[in-house]
Amino acid sequence: MSSQAHDHVHLPDAGDTSPGYYEIMETAIRELLIDKKVFDAGEIRQMLEVMDTRTPALGSRIVARAWVDPAFRARLLANGRAAVEELGIDFFENTQLIVLENTDKVHNVVVCTLCSCYPREILGLPPDWYKLKPYRARTVKEPRAVLAEFGTVIPDDVEIRVSDSTSMIRYLVLPQRPESTQDFTEEQLAALVTRDAMIGVVRASAPAKEKFR
Amino acid sequence: MADAAGRGLEPLAHVVTTEGAEPLFQTGDAVKVAMRFPVGHYRVPTYIRGKRARVEAVIVPAAINNEDEGFGRNAGIKRHYYRIAIPMRELWPQYPGPEDDGLRIEVFETWLERS
Express each pLDDT in A36-59 by its tens digit: 999 999 999 999 999 999 999 999
How much is the pLDDT for A210? 53
How much is the pLDDT for B1? 47
| CB burial string A80-114: b at 16+ within 10 A, e below | bbebbeeeebebeeeebbbbbebeeeebbbbbbbb
Contacts of A82 in chain B (CB under 8 A): 6
Cβ neighbour number for residue A144 with a 10 Å cutoff? 20
How much is the pLDDT for B43? 87
| Among the partner residues B6, B66, B101, nearest to A143 by beta-carbon distance | B101
More confident residue, A10 or A28: A28
How much is the pLDDT for A213? 47
Percentage of residues of chain A with pLDDT beyond 90 = 80
CB A59 within 8 A of CB A171: no
Q: Enumerate the β-bridge partners of residue B59.
A: B81
Q: Enumerate the β-bridge partners of residue A137.
A: none
Tens-digit pLDDT profile for residues B7-39: 677 878 888 877 767 899 999 999 999 999 988
How many residues make up chain B in this entry? 115
Q: Give the domains, in start order, of chain A with CATH numbers.
A: 22-52 (no CATH), 55-199 (3.90.330.10)
Residue A125 has pLDDT above 70, yes or no: yes
What number of C-beta contacts closer than 8 Å exist between A and B?
70
Residue A3 has pLDDT above 90, yes or no: no
User: Domain boundaries in chain B?
Assistant: 30-114
CB-CB under 8 Å, A164 with B103: yes
How much is the pLDDT for A186? 97
Quick one: average pLDDT of A133-158? 97
ipTM higher than the 0.90 cut: no
| Among the partner residues A159, A168, A169, nearest to B100 by beta-carbon distance | A159
How much is the pLDDT for B4? 54
Catalytic residue among A2, A60, A117, A205: A117
Tens-digit pLDDT profile for residues A64-112: 999 999 999 999 999 999 999 999 999 987 788 999 999 999 999 999 9
- Residue in A159, A150, A195 with CA at minimum distance from that of residue A56: A195
Let me know if A116 is a catalytic residue.
Answer: yes
How much is the pLDDT for A209? 60
- Which residues 2-21 of B are in CB contact (within 8 Å) with A? 6
Residue B55 has pLDDT above 60, yes or no: yes
| Among the partner residues B45, B101, B107, nearest to A114 by beta-carbon distance | B45
C-alpha distances in Å from residue B81, one per residue of A87, B22, B23, B61: 27, 12, 9, 9
Residue A10 has pLDDT above 80, yes or no: no
Residue A208 has pLDDT above 70, yes or no: no
The residues, ordered by sequence, that sit 6+ positions from B67 with a Cβ below 8 Å of its Cβ are B40, B41, B42, B43, B108
CB-CB under 8 Å, A161 with B59: no
Please provide the CATH number assigned to the domain covering B30-114. 2.30.30.50
Tens-digit pLDDT profile for residues B78-105: 899 999 999 999 999 999 999 999 999 9
Contacts of B98 in chain A (CB under 8 A): 156-157, 159-160
Q: Is A27 on the interface with B (CB under 8 A)?
A: no
Let me know if A60 is a catalytic residue.
Answer: no
Let me know if A115 is a catalytic residue.
Answer: yes
| Among the partner residues A94, A140, A168, nearest to B103 by beta-carbon distance | A140
Q: How far apart are CA A75 and CA A15, in angstroms?
A: 47
CB-CB under 8 Å, A96 with B59: yes
How much is the pLDDT for A5? 58
Q: Is A160 on the interface with B (CB under 8 A)?
A: yes
More confident residue, B61 or A27: A27
Residue A4 has pLDDT above 60, yes or no: no
Contacts of B43 in chain A (CB under 8 A): 114, 166-167
